Chains A and B, each alone.
Chain A
Amino acid sequence: MTPKNYLYEMIRSELTWVVGDEYVQANEADNLGHSIDYYWVPECWHDRGERPTPPDLVVYPGNTQEVAAILKIANTHNIPVTPWGGGSGSQGGALPIYGGIVLDMKRMNKVIEIDPVTMCVTAEAGINAQHLEWEVEKAGFSTMHLPASISCATLGGFIAHRGTGVLSTKYGKIEDMIMSLEVVTPTGEIINTLPVPRHASGPSLTELFLGSEGTLGVVTKAVMKIHPIPAARKFHAYLFETMHDAMVAGSQLMISRMRPAVIRLYDEASTARVIKRVLNIDRKGAYLVFGFDGPEKIVDLEMEEACKICERTSKEDLGTEAGQSWWKNRYKFFYPPYMFQLPQAFGTLDTVATFANIENVYWAMKNVVKENFPQAAFIGHFSHWYDWGCMLYARFIIEEPPQDPNEAVALYNRIWDMAIRAAIREGGVINEHHGVGLKLGRIMRDLYGPAFNVLESLKKVLDPNNIMNPGKMGFPGKGV
């Protein structure tokens, strides 16, 4: 579509009838912002003076009915629709790669109800996660969903990518926090999933939409658990000779079935590079921090037991201060200049595996990067822990990627292909909490095998015209 085409104006007019003139934008200022999310590839494209694909129209729905009407219009004209939350996704999920409509959800930002009896909050999906948390805190509670991107991502975005916060080890990932969803299906029907997250009334539809990345519909509303503000939250840090020694401690902490709110283990390379830079702790070895929250007496007891576990394999007790400092600075890691940024090329190779496999996954990824891409540094930390395993947040960093954008992106893709496939071979998966998006769609079929046909069939049934976020998550594109 182009503004010179009268069909374009027909469609624009139809959309303005639904949401009003102001909420259908087609200007270059907004298009620029909507053509680049937090994925390195469009950032690099922009950096090299190229123009990443813009949307034809940015539409800002104000309520669920408007979303439904927009999707019906898009179906009539067979136009791609890409939901956009905060644009903070790192997988290119919100990029309008085939043009069409970007459905910017930020206007749907209301907290509808805080229920202190059931302990849940109902909110529109476009609400910024920090704004949501502030409102819930004002009522005396917390969502306990505190990701590093709390200030920039939306509730719907986290649901779409199965995101996770820093306290996930105790409070769960977003999929553990959501009670139910309101969704507009690609053909424009408004549906609600069952009101409780645990039941035996058939398969969980909530689960179907969690992680669907805007390919199966638009999440418009969610009911999310909330929690009391804990009386105490305490941290402690240890240094280990090797990452393996720290992993023994971390896994024992989880196997003990205590409930730490957080465990973070930084490998030797990231302890030397990141912990030193951000926390000013200059040590050789692997830094591990953990924390508990809840009633103070229980927290103290848990801290004591956890310290005993760490002391078995650690080389230095860094104390509570080094732990508190990590908590205080937990978001600082993500601000420039602490965060990696162009001209560097960097990617977060995040995956998850069982305790039996996780170190093998780490070494497989690290070795493949080291052997094939000597220009790349590799660092990693383990940030979200489960009863059965943990998440690896690995990163590769290239200080001077090629200037030619195609060459730079080709190199970037090659690293991803090799590293993720190495992880899968050792029992890892494509991703743990950032999603698939455009970045990793091509590997979905390899990961799922024949099971991917099930996902594809669901997509076909729900979205017969393939309008919803085409070309993402391994689903078909629209043709360029």
Chain B
Amino acid sequence: MHIENYLNVIDACRFCFMCRHLDPVGNVTFREADTPRGRALMCDRIRMDAANLSNPDYIDAFYRSALSAANRFHCVSDYDETGLVLAVRRDIVEADLAPAAVKALAKTLEKDAFSVKGKGNALYFGPTPELYKGCAVITGGDPGKALAVLGFEAASKKVFARFKKAVTDSGCKTLIVAEPSAFEFLHDRLPDVKVIHSAAYFVEQGMNKTGSRKAVYLESDFLKNYCGNPSAPRDLLKQLGYKLVPFGTNVEESYAVGEGAVVYDTLYPTLAERLCQRVYDLAEGLGKTRFITASQTVKDTLKKYNPAFDVITLEEAVALSQD
């Protein structure tokens, strides 16, 4: 079983309470099963008796996790609780125990195919190709990250192989990726290609300051907790003239409304809405402050439950500066 690679995490987390305050789902469901300790205890039961893998309550709890990795980021010993959840999801899938909704979603994701349009030294992957003059563009769905997060490792590899082939065939040596989940997935998988996040690309280009406006940069789970918290998104917004104001009560919690689980809103819309509600509530004291996120998915989720919420993506911030 894959969880056997995480026995140290099970041993550490099963009786540890030290990062439960940072579990975004636990903070809205209040359930013990939605904490790193709760999940490690269930994994421990599975370790003791594999029959527990088929427990539907356990399975639901594992899929309910938002995988923000805020817990891992907080942990003084860096125990990979996120890795443990991903491992148990793989075990669930390999035992053909994934919930029907997860299986159905995986079936759709498996079909993702990719094509490249245009020519250029760099290849852009994301929703706003018009911003990347002189770049070729790769389109298609998710490059395999969503499947990997759901535990469908083999299918993820297949989709990624298609993505990789399209990149290789394009001949481009630089790939610019907009969505943080895709960036995290791709950044070390394409050995001959330099993978950069769009924020870094724009910072390198140098942006013109266009006015000054207060904004909240809504931290990305993937950029902050998975990719070492690069300064590019904040640098970019500063270049654009935004004055960043702190959000929430602390810098540790994830306000990324399920970004770490990639397809959270599709599988758990009620919980995604609650994660959004937390952001709306905290935003109340900030007046007309604009929110800026690196992730189109985060933006879409926040807009879905409150269309009036003023949130744009980093790329939209760039586009606005060029208007």
Q: Which residues of A contact B (CB under 8 A)?
A: 25, 27-30, 32-34, 36, 38, 43, 46, 49, 60, 86-88, 104, 106-107, 109, 126, 128, 130-131, 134-135, 137-138, 149, 151-153, 331-332, 334-339, 341-342
**Chain B residue contacts of A30, Cβ below 8 A:** 31-33, 38, 57
A25-B31, A27-B57 given; A335·B249 CB < 8 A: no
A33-B37, A335-B76 given; A46·B44 CB < 8 A: yes
Whether the pair B33, A32 counts as a contact (CB closer than 8 A) is yes
Sampled A-B contacts (19; CB under 8 Å): A27-B57, A29-B31, A29-B58, A32-B38, A32-B42, A33-B31, A33-B35, A34-B32, A49-B49, A104-B30, A104-B31, A126-B30, A131-B249, A149-B17, A152-B17, A332-B76, A336-B12, A337-B12, A338-B77
Return the chain B residue nearest A49 by Cβ: B48
Whether the pair A36, B12 counts as a contact (CB closer than 8 A) is no
Return the chain A residue nearest B249 by Cβ: A134
Does B172 interact with chain A (Cβ within 8 Å)? Answer: no
A27-B57, A134-B250, A341-B12 given; A46·B41 CB < 8 A: yes
Does B55 interact with chain A (Cβ within 8 Å)? Answer: yes
**Chain A residue contacts of B21, Cβ below 8 A:** 128, 130-131, 151-152
Tell me the complex Cα distance, A476–B57, Å. 34
Tell me the complex Cα distance, A43–B60, Å. 24
Tell me the complex Cα distance, A189–B48, Å. 45
**Chain B residue contacts of A33, Cβ below 8 A:** 31-33, 35, 37-38, 41
**Chain A residue contacts of B268, Cβ below 8 A:** none
Does B11 interact with chain A (Cβ within 8 Å)? Answer: yes
Tell me the complex Cα distance, A153–B18, Å. 9
Whether the pair B75, A335 counts as a contact (CB closer than 8 A) is yes
Given contacts A128-B20, A151-B21, A341-B11, 10 further A-B contacts (CB under 8 A): A27-B33, A30-B31, A32-B38, A86-B20, A107-B30, A109-B30, A134-B250, A152-B20, A341-B12, A342-B11
Tell me the complex Cα distance, A149–B20, Å. 11
Tell me the complex Cα distance, A468–B311, Å. 48
Whether the pair A335, B16 counts as a contact (CB closer than 8 A) is yes
A29-B58, A29-B60 given; A335·B18 CB < 8 A: yes
Does B267 interact with chain A (Cβ within 8 Å)? Answer: no
Tell me the complex Cα distance, A316–B55, Å. 58
Tell me the complex Cα distance, A126–B21, Å. 12
B251 to chain A minimum Cβ distance, whole angstroms, is: 10
Which of A60, A337, A342 lies in contact with B77, CB distance below 8 A? A337
B143 to chain A minimum Cβ distance, whole angstroms, is: 32
A25-B31, A29-B38, A337-B77 given; A138·B249 CB < 8 A: yes
Which of B13, B19, B45, B61 lies in contact with A151, CB distance below 8 A? B19
Q: Which 3 A-B pairs have the closest CB atoms?
A: A33-B32, A152-B17, A134-B249
**Chain A residue contacts of B132, Cβ below 8 A:** none
Whether the pair B20, A151 counts as a contact (CB closer than 8 A) is yes
Interface string of B1-37 (1 = CB under 8 A from A): 0000000000111111111111000000011110101
Whether the pair B41, A135 counts as a contact (CB closer than 8 A) is no
Whether the pair B18, A334 counts as a contact (CB closer than 8 A) is yes
**Chain A residue contacts of B41, Cβ below 8 A:** 32-33, 36, 46
Whether the pair B77, A29 counts as a contact (CB closer than 8 A) is no
**Chain A residue contacts of B19, Cβ below 8 A:** 151
A-contacting residues, B88-117, CB 8 Å:
none
A41 to chain B minimum Cβ distance, whole angstroms, is: 12
**Chain B residue contacts of A138, Cβ below 8 A:** 249
Return the chain B residue nearest A134 by Cβ: B249
Does B305 interact with chain A (Cβ within 8 Å)? Answer: no
**Chain A residue contacts of B33, Cβ below 8 A:** 27, 29-30, 32-33
Return the chain B residue nearest A25 by Cβ: B31
A113 to chain B minimum Cβ distance, whole angstroms, is: 15
B207 to chain A minimum Cβ distance, whole angstroms, is: 31
Tell me the complex Cα distance, A86–B57, Å. 21
A30-B33, A36-B41, A336-B79 given; A341·B20 CB < 8 A: no
**Chain B residue contacts of A153, Cβ below 8 A:** 17
Tell me the complex Cα distance, A334–B55, Å. 32
Interface string of B199-228 (1 = CB under 8 A from A): 000000000000000000000000000000
Tell me the complex Cα distance, A256–B16, Å. 39
Whether the pair A87, B32 counts as a contact (CB closer than 8 A) is yes
B301 to chain A minimum Cβ distance, whole angstroms, is: 21
**Chain A residue contacts of B22, Cβ below 8 A:** 151
Whether the pair A87, B17 counts as a contact (CB closer than 8 A) is yes
Whether the pair B18, A152 counts as a contact (CB closer than 8 A) is yes
Return the chain A residue nearest B45 by Cβ: A32
Whether the pair A60, B30 counts as a contact (CB closer than 8 A) is yes
B61 to chain A minimum Cβ distance, whole angstroms, is: 4
Tell me the complex Cα distance, A109–B31, Å. 13
**Chain A residue contacts of B58, Cβ below 8 A:** 28-29
Return the chain B residue nearest A339 by Cβ: B16
**Chain B residue contacts of A152, Cβ below 8 A:** 17-18, 20-21
Tell me the complex Cα distance, A134–B22, Å. 12
Interface string of B55-80 (1 = CB under 8 A from A): 10110110000000000000111010
A-contacting residues, B39-54, CB 8 Å:
41-42, 44-45, 48-49
Tell me the complex Cα distance, A224–B16, Å. 27
Whether the pair B35, A342 counts as a contact (CB closer than 8 A) is no
A249 to chain B minimum Cβ distance, whole angstroms, is: 30
Return the chain B residue nearest A108 by Cβ: B30
Tell me the complex Cα distance, A60–B31, Å. 9
Tell me the complex Cα distance, A60–B58, Å. 20
Return the chain A residue nearest B49 by Cβ: A49
Chain B CB count within 10 A is highest, among A25, A33, A36, for A33
Whether the pair A135, B249 counts as a contact (CB closer than 8 A) is yes
Tell me the complex Cα distance, A339–B20, Å. 17
**Chain A residue contacts of B45, Cβ below 8 A:** 32
Return the chain A residue nearest B13 by Cβ: A336
**Chain B residue contacts of A104, Cβ below 8 A:** 30-32
**Chain B residue contacts of A126, Cβ below 8 A:** 30
**Chain B residue contacts of A342, Cβ below 8 A:** 11, 15
Tell me the complex Cα distance, A32–B61, Å. 12
B69 to chain A minimum Cβ distance, whole angstroms, is: 16
Tell me the complex Cα distance, A382–B114, Å. 64
Tell me the complex Cα distance, A339–B13, Å. 12
Whether the pair A38, B77 counts as a contact (CB closer than 8 A) is no
Whether the pair A106, B42 counts as a contact (CB closer than 8 A) is no
Tell me the complex Cα distance, A22–B32, Å. 14
**Chain B residue contacts of A34, Cβ below 8 A:** 32
Tell me the complex Cα distance, A28–B37, Å. 15
B71 to chain A minimum Cβ distance, whole angstroms, is: 10
Which of A28, A43, A331 lies in contact with B15, CB distance below 8 A? A43
**Chain B residue contacts of A25, Cβ below 8 A:** 31
A36-B41, A137-B249, A332-B76 given; A341·B15 CB < 8 A: yes
Whether the pair B76, A28 counts as a contact (CB closer than 8 A) is no
**Chain A residue contacts of B42, Cβ below 8 A:** 29, 32
**Chain B residue contacts of A331, Cβ below 8 A:** 18, 76
Chain A CB count within 10 A is highest, among B38, B48, B49, for B38
Tell me the complex Cα distance, A104–B77, Å. 29
**Chain B residue contacts of A28, Cβ below 8 A:** 55, 57-58
